[in-house]
Amino acid sequence: MRTVLAGLVVVLALVWGVSVQAAQVVRVGGYDFPPFVDVGKDGRPALVPQIIDALNQMQSQYRFEFVPVAARRRYGDVVEGRFDVMFFESPQWEWQAQGFPVDFTKIFLRGGEVYIAQAEEGRGQDYFADLSGKSLVGILGYHYGFADFDADPERLARKFDIKLVNSHRSSIELVLNGRRDIAVVTDAYLHGYLQDNPKARDRLLISQRLDQTYEHRVLVRQGGPIAVATMEKLMDDLTATHRLGGILRAAGIRN
């Protein structure tokens, strides 16, 4: 009996080993882009790690693993095969124009970026109509509508009075401290920031006009371990089971 049980344990171990090895690893690239990718700096859960966990729980064919990348280096990294997919990307952020070897799923989330300035008596929405003559702050490596989606720091510096920082929190605080006139902030991040810092709401003027509208898709590296059609089906399954919606709503995002 003891011999039979031992043999059964060995067989189960072998089957489990084959099952684990059969899962195809898919590397998910992500750069600091709160609340989508944020290493917990503001105490709020980032969305991409939760999506990765949900994908791994709902199927066993692929094993999704997070790989941190820098925003400005993501183009070279995908060409070198450092990551296979990237969530919350847009073809207009240089991917399409430069002809990088990537495909995109259909849109699964829309959002945008707003302008913010200090709230002052007599200052209204017309303050955002013309950015010339105003000092700006944005995020290094991001693409902005007012700059025709050109993320090159040197060209931005020649065309605009802009300071590039590494976080939305820094952008907001530079405006609140009067060190910059206008910041461009992701609407989803601003929503969370104001929830955590309600006193800042009355100190900020938020534009009704968007700098750009996001049409978020999943970027899929051509020749990688997963096809764009398969990735799209997995996102459809996440949506159909309401898991994606639950993750987004928990972060204050409506999809």
48 pLDDT higher than 80: yes
Question: pLDDT for 81-100, tens place per residue?
Answer: 999 999 999 998 889 878 89
Which residues contact residue 195 at a Cβ distance below 8 angstroms, ignoring those fewer than 6 apart?
Answer: 252
Q: Would you say residue 77 lies in a domain?
A: yes
Residues 31 and 52 in one domain: yes
14 pLDDT higher than 60: no
Can you give the pLDDT at residue 19?
A: 47
Question: pLDDT for 119-146, tens place per residue?
Answer: 999 999 999 999 999 999 999 888 899 9
Q: Which two tokens stand for residue 45?
A: 């859960």
Q: List the CATH number of the domain containing 74.
A: 3.40.190.10
Question: pLDDT for 32-45, tens place per residue?
Answer: 888 888 754 555 56
Residues 29 and 85 in one domain: yes
Residues 138 and 202 in one domain: yes
Residues 64 and 190 in one domain: no
- Residue 165 structural domain: 111-213
Residues 183 and 127 in one domain: yes
Residues 45 and 137 in one domain: no
Question: pLDDT for 231-255, tens place per residue?
Answer: 999 999 999 999 999 988 877 776 5
Q: What is the DSSP letter of 125?
A: G
Residues 101 and 30 in one domain: yes
Q: How many domains does the chain have?
A: 2
Average pLDDT, the chain: 87
Burial class (CB in 10 A: 0-12, 13-18, 19+), 104: buried
